[in-house]
Structure 1
């Protein structure tokens, strides 16, 4: 029965994640970017159509995957709680770097997580920066979570937070879109985390056969430099669509 049902897969992901994923300006129900390109390649490899759709903000995406309404996440960090509702495919298809961002003139010097103690941070709700940092932040840091990266950047710019924690490439992309030049990334990574393809436990398509196909495809992709090409193309597309003067 599961095999009969599996004629189509629905994928989603963090919609504020350029150059990996963002909403298409001409069709905001669709996600584009390097990870969307990867999903189209994956579709050909496994022989099943994959639609990459906007279903809401990142927190909503995770809820939809938990419920089995979305089959695949096109890019998620590993956390133990997420293994309760989705399978991870190894190896990861990309390594990412998360950074601390501050306004120009900030006296915050960042070398280690402890340097953030006693200061007010901001990030995006339901975002993970890896199991270790997430745990440290819960126990030791004051980090407000807001609905979107644009909102988090505005809070930092208005001085209502001392720092922002977010990934480097998406952060750069949104600052360029918002024409903000007085926020900078500090040296030293908060975390370097791999991005994985995941499949919902409750997906009607979650069968041993499909898991095997996905695992083989992800392994094949890891042996190439194709992801770098998709990222390069997606940076150019994002700038053309979003950055003033491009």
Structure 2
């Protein structure tokens, strides 16, 4: 036994690695589940510009990966901080996030816009025009260090899920919604409020989307290679084309689902109308069965 230990020790020192090397870990990637066409969950799978870019680049670099879908954007960020997720496919850069993650080169511009209830537009040429009004924004969102600080110091903004944010506009419990252009377009369609909202003329700020790697990830040293791939794709105009393709993909799915639900709703409506038309007769039939015929109670009943 002693000779075996000596032999293994000798092999380790000569080769510089254990005799039975552990397999390399798989890079875990995730992203915002509610930000189409950049990233969104489709039947439990993460889709969009970010996931497509990340998987194409990692395949090119021969890095094994696993895509972890999520239901909550804030949770995804917390998992990255904890090292449970290696790479987020799209995120804005700010100082708070830079404490726990390292950002790639920017790959796509994303205007941040102000959305208001139709007919409720106000003059808004600068951030100061929002002071004194009630704002709302998506839960877990950041809009860059400067505007985040301005919100905290000067504005009255509540953070909530997108659906609730649009509801607050409708209810007049919020005067404006701060939101990225892409999800603003998408969610106004999903929630069928396109005809009930308006976009303010000027974007609040224009952000850059990055990939981000956890500082606890063993893949940090791959960032230069990832950046090189991103820069090449961006210079070739492929990322903007991908954004349009992913939007069209999302919209096709949306229209198919819309058609399906409309058809299902019509069938249900028709069935209900038929039932309503016959309801009086069915009611009389049941009265006859249970009252006029004097049917006995189930076994155990008292009859009173």
Between the two proteins, the alignment pairs up a number of residues equal to 238
Please report how far the alpha carbon of residue 93 of structure 1 lies from its aligned counterpart in structure 2 after TM superposition. Answer: 0.5
Which ranges in structure 1 are unaligned for 5 or more consecutive residues? Answer: none
Does the C-alpha gap of structure 1 residues 245 and 228 become closer, same or farther in structure 2, counting only changes over 3 Å?
farther
Does the C-alpha gap of structure 1 residues 201 and 6 become closer, same or farther in structure 2, counting only changes over 3 Å?
farther
Does the C-alpha gap of structure 1 residues 124 and 6 become closer, same or farther in structure 2, counting only changes over 3 Å?
farther
Q: Is the Cα contact below 8 Å between 1:77 and 1:194 reproduced in 2? A: yes
* Larger CA Rg, structure 1 vs 2: 2
Matched ranges for 1:100-119 at <5 A: 100-119=114-133
Match for 1:126 among 123, 133, 140?
Answer: 140
**CA displacement, residues 119-169 of structure 1 (integer Å, 9 cap, x when unaligned):** 0000012201111110111000000011x2122111112211011000112
The corresponding residue for 1:179 is 192
Q: Is the Cα contact below 8 Å between 1:46 and 1:217 reproduced in 2? A: no
Match for 1:73 among 76, 84, 88?
Answer: 88
Q: Is the Cα contact below 8 Å between 1:39 and 1:50 reproduced in 2? A: no
Q: More displaced, 70-79 or 34-43? A: 34-43
The corresponding residue for 2:253 is 241
Residues of 2 paired with 1:6 and 1:178: CA distance? 44
The corresponding residue for 1:8 is 26
Which ranges in structure 2 are unaligned for 5 or more consecutive residues? Answer: 1-16, 261-304
More strand by share: 1
1:150 counterpart = 2:168: no
1:60 counterpart = 2:92: no
1:37 counterpart = 2:49: no
1:221 counterpart = 2:236: no
Please report how far the alpha carbon of residue 7 of structure 1 lies from its aligned counterpart in structure 2 after TM superposition. Answer: 4.2
Q: Is the Cα contact below 8 Å between 1:120 and 1:161 reproduced in 2? A: yes
Under a length normalisation based on structure 2, what TM-score does the superposition of the two structures give?
A: 0.74
Under a length normalisation based on structure 1, what TM-score does the superposition of the two structures give?
A: 0.91
Does the C-alpha gap of structure 1 residues 5 and 140 become closer, same or farther in structure 2, counting only changes over 3 Å?
farther
Q: More displaced, 95-104 or 55-64? A: 55-64
The corresponding residue for 2:153 is 139
Q: Is the Cα contact below 8 Å between 2:32 and 2:70 reproduced in 1? A: no
Residues of 1 paired with 2:165 and 2:121: CA distance? 20
Does the C-alpha gap of structure 1 residues 171 and 47 become closer, same or farther in structure 2, counting only changes over 3 Å?
same
**CA displacement, residues 90-123 of structure 1 (integer Å, 9 cap, x when unaligned):** 2x01011000000011042211000000000000
Please report how far the alpha carbon of residue 234 of structure 1 lies from its aligned counterpart in structure 2 after TM superposition. Answer: 1.1
